[in-house]
Structure 1
């Protein structure tokens, strides 16, 4: 028998951590005992509503204690929680609810007000639990106040009879290349990711306080802010607000975390905020800064170290792998590299024929490890393409150097051939970001009048730089000195912002669509 709720909930009670702070949230703190009890009561409430094993429970919740309570309370009774992004349009939630066939939705009154208009199109939904619903008497029959429905339940709840092969939770991919895919994770996947990355790389202990600017509804944030600290008996800081540079700095100073998790675009905006405002912040409590989501520019690492005296360890993971599988380490950082394979995973880079590449040769990255998802929900063709035996096809281009460090070369669809030679947009972007006037950039392939491919750069300048033609020529000349001359961007377009996912990843495909017909 195995149930993930034991590893991350009850085990802390048995280890005499019941009175220890598990969560800092706004003006309150919550102990492990409080969270465990509320999780039991929420699980019992689901059972009262008739929720059975393997039935899905969709969560549209900000980072909050209710998120964690709902997530683990559902797992304890064998239901399958599905965290979803809180920033999406109504049509996306309609898709999630119908695609997953979720019978229960846990959300806020604000979100439900938007969905209630289309409730007749929600084919499988039976119950809505509102975390901020206060008056049960004013609700419809299938609407329930989170507080009312949980407080009347028993504080004790035995886990369901599940094992290591049972589903525990789903996560939906971002859908940047089509409809979002439901990624099925099993009961042991969180423990495996915790052991591999949190223990081996972060060396997390119960003394740590974690703070993740990446939200719980993302695979990256789910580990950072929930099952990593809970696995170690540590403390997590939950921030429901949008992670602006100012808000993140304020939260760090207030709660004094020892491990901070961000994404490259956030680190860039935080550095830019400091440069622009000349404000100073105390980050002395932090022992580790972590980045993931996409490749971290070497220039950000240098500026962060110069400004705060802290290194950033960069890594890469995915929704399918649950968390990071390639990473730099605290005392082994190679700027611009994604690092080495995280112990507990295997990786290989293959060419178009499936043969492993030579050192410094770009190919497709495949990984293997126990935290990798079982499959996608209801997508037979995609499963065959992505899950190849024990290996996961990541969709990323990489090469590995002589010392075993992995270097990101872009997504498979992002690579471009210039003068007959494959060129990585990431390499050009990193060169551009080392220019003192460049804040953010994205490089795509542009067809010229002869249908030949040339690099084009979209650039967000720092506030102090003028977006004139002379600046464009100066930046082109700068790149020619840093890289092989054929790699320089033939066209530069200054923009106010770049299209991004809610995780902060730059959406190059949105820039690419109008350029190549």
Structure 2
């Protein structure tokens, strides 16, 4: 017979395995409870905040969301820049047992409308500068009952703005969409002393992160509370070696897996400081942050590192940085060489995905290893298989599979895609790699991006590495082009270095000096910039269409 307490837990939907675990408590309350509440948790142009102050605001907002009627395991969608309120909101949603869905504020109204409908979110949290796009999105999202807007003025150090208390979303003023608007600070006031953390377990849903959408509409990846602890133990502690005195600055935003780890999971789990800047990252703005905030860890993608070099960032920009991390795409060896030569900073390259929550294949600090290669992050296993599922020998390209505790449960409402990618304990990443004799892995590109030339599979990364060695090339991407039903052929899409015109014949000849004939570009397209996703990943599908439009189908 079940006792009355068990019946009560069943009625409340809170029957849990032996271990209770809440990611928000792990990241914030744990530091306060162990006597480290006076450490600086958040820094940057929006002000500073200690762990004690952060914990108080997170608890208040969690209570305010509960008062508003948000329920455990219900999705709350965030359209916010990287500012303290964003960090607080993600943590508060997880604390109260709901599911945080941060999405890029760069999406337009139609795209946001799709994401809101797909997530079934009833509450959306945004900032005033993005309200027009959000209001447009709400016209096609009839299930939303409240829009929460952060305050227009930045909070002071540790003190977020206050407003009159609310007792529910229905008391806020309505707008033309018919969706009530509630000030974010009102929720803080309403939630003071309302509730403690919800009794979640490691397998409870914590947040959704969307794939970059390079080959189609973004898919929502479902992550559990325990995965945030797992990914810190694997990468944050054992690869980055994060410690309380570290200060983390990330170009990648918290609406994506890479940025969320850099700006929330890793620094908070280590009791360190995250530096948040809501401004859209530019070389000039990031250099200003580097010089003013003195971070010890810096995170970006290859495209942004190339932009820093093109903008001729000062040589002492990375003087405080003990380790720089690159991910999102492969860091070409030549770009790696330029970075280390100019800035004298240790740069490690990593491969990860939204499905794995962060990086699972990485170089190591202080180890001389070519960019674009690395070994499995502790806690993960890798294998390379051919099209039939047979392991490939060293040196041969294969489909990369990864196994580890942080792997997601699957895609939301994408059964077919989930079954293709999540195969038992293994995730098929969609990447193609080769394993060298020393046990390291070389990233060759996404499986769909490999180019078949005369029966030879050409890695775009190998060609791009050569192109970047030319002084006239700032950025590049190589894609396949098929004309009039003929064979695939490589086409180089290049962005010229400032003041350096591109000579297509010279560039092709430069490639022929070092590459096999199959690898050499047949055409060169000169572009002002490469099309990228909000994460900074090159949209090769767009470049393939551009090549078809310009060179003929």
3-state SS, counterpart of residue 408 of structure 1: strand
Residue 147 of structure 2 corresponds to which residue in structure 1?
128
CA 1:168–1:27: 2 relative to 1, 3 Å = closer
How big is the shift at 1:143?
1.6
3-state SS, counterpart of residue 229 of structure 2: helix
Aligned residues of 1:104 and 1:128 also touching (Cα < 8 A): yes
How big is the shift at 1:334?
1.7
Residue 492 of structure 1 corresponds to which residue in structure 2?
524
How big is the shift at 1:242?
1.2
How big is the shift at 1:407?
1.0
1:18 aligns with 2:37: yes
Identify the match of residue 298 of structure 1 among 297, 314, 333.
333
CA 1:115–1:511: 2 relative to 1, 3 Å = same
1:377 aligns with 2:415: no
Residue 150 of structure 1 corresponds to which residue in structure 2?
188
1:164 aligns with 2:183: no
Residue 238 of structure 1 corresponds to which residue in structure 2?
276
Question: Per-residue displacement from partner, 1:85-106 (whole Å, max 9, x unpaired)?
Answer: 0111101111111111001111
Give the TM-score, by structure 1 length: 0.95
Aligned residues of 2:400 and 2:430 also touching (Cα < 8 A): yes
Identify the match of residue 184 of structure 1 among 211, 216, 222.
222
Structure 2 CA distance for aligned equivalents of residues 203 and 243 of structure 1: 26
Unaligned runs of 5+ in 1: none
How big is the shift at 1:308?
1.3
Structure 1 CA distance for aligned equivalents of residues 31 and 217 of structure 2: 39
Residue 173 of structure 2 corresponds to which residue in structure 1?
139
Count of aligned pairs: 511
Matches within 5 A, 1:322-361: 322-361=357-396
Unaligned runs of 5+ in 2: 1-19, 153-161, 165-170
Residue 418 of structure 1 corresponds to which residue in structure 2?
453
Residue 94 of structure 2 corresponds to which residue in structure 1?
75
How big is the shift at 1:282?
3.9
How big is the shift at 1:479?
0.9
3-state SS, counterpart of residue 513 of structure 1: helix
Structure 2 CA distance for aligned equivalents of residues 464 and 386 of structure 1: 44
Residue 405 of structure 1 corresponds to which residue in structure 2?
440
Matches within 5 A, 1:28-177: 28-117=47-136, 119-132=138-151, 139-140=173-174, 142-155=180-193, 157-177=195-215
CA 1:112–1:157: 2 relative to 1, 3 Å = same
Residue 2 of structure 1 corresponds to which residue in structure 2?
21
How big is the shift at 1:513?
2.2
Aligned residues of 2:71 and 2:98 also touching (Cα < 8 A): yes
Identify the match of residue 494 of structure 2 among 425, 436, 459.
459
Q: Please report the RMSD computed on the Cα atoms of aligned residues, expressed in angstroms.
A: 1.7
Identify the match of residue 248 of structure 1 among 286, 291, 298.
286
Structure 2 CA distance for aligned equivalents of residues 233 and 505 of structure 1: 30
Residue 8 of structure 2 corresponds to which residue in structure 1?
none
Question: Per-residue displacement from partner, 1:281-323 (whole Å, max 9, x unpaired)?
Answer: 4422110000000100111111111111112100011000000
CA 1:116–1:504: 2 relative to 1, 3 Å = closer
The ranges of structure 1 where at least 4 consecutive aligned residues each deviate by more than 3 angstroms after the TM superposition are 117-120, 133-138, 279-282, 514-517
Question: Per-residue displacement from partner, 1:244-291 (whole Å, max 9, x unpaired)?
Answer: 11111110000100001110000001011117xxx4544221100000
3-state SS, counterpart of residue 106 of structure 1: strand
Residue 507 of structure 1 corresponds to which residue in structure 2?
539
Structure 1 CA distance for aligned equivalents of residues 305 and 244 of structure 2: 26
Question: Per-residue displacement from partner, 1:381-406 (whole Å, max 9, x unpaired)?
Answer: 11111100000010111111111111
Structure 1 CA distance for aligned equivalents of residues 310 and 328 of structure 2: 19
CA 1:117–1:303: 2 relative to 1, 3 Å = closer
3-state SS, counterpart of residue 306 of structure 1: helix
3-state SS, counterpart of residue 442 of structure 2: strand
- Larger mean CA deviation between 449-458 and 349-358 belongs to 449-458
How big is the shift at 1:515?
4.2
1:228 aligns with 2:266: yes
Aligned residues of 1:37 and 1:155 also touching (Cα < 8 A): no
Question: Per-residue displacement from partner, 1:185-243 (whole Å, max 9, x unpaired)?
Answer: 00101111101001111000001011111111110000001110000000010011111
CA 1:304–1:357: 2 relative to 1, 3 Å = same
CA 1:135–1:231: 2 relative to 1, 3 Å = closer
How big is the shift at 1:492?
1.1
Aligned residues of 2:402 and 2:426 also touching (Cα < 8 A): yes
How big is the shift at 1:411?
1.1
Question: Per-residue displacement from partner, 1:311-349 (whole Å, max 9, x unpaired)?
Answer: 210001100000000000012242233311101001101
Residue 396 of structure 1 corresponds to which residue in structure 2?
431
Residue 12 of structure 2 corresponds to which residue in structure 1?
none
Aligned residues of 2:46 and 2:277 also touching (Cα < 8 A): no
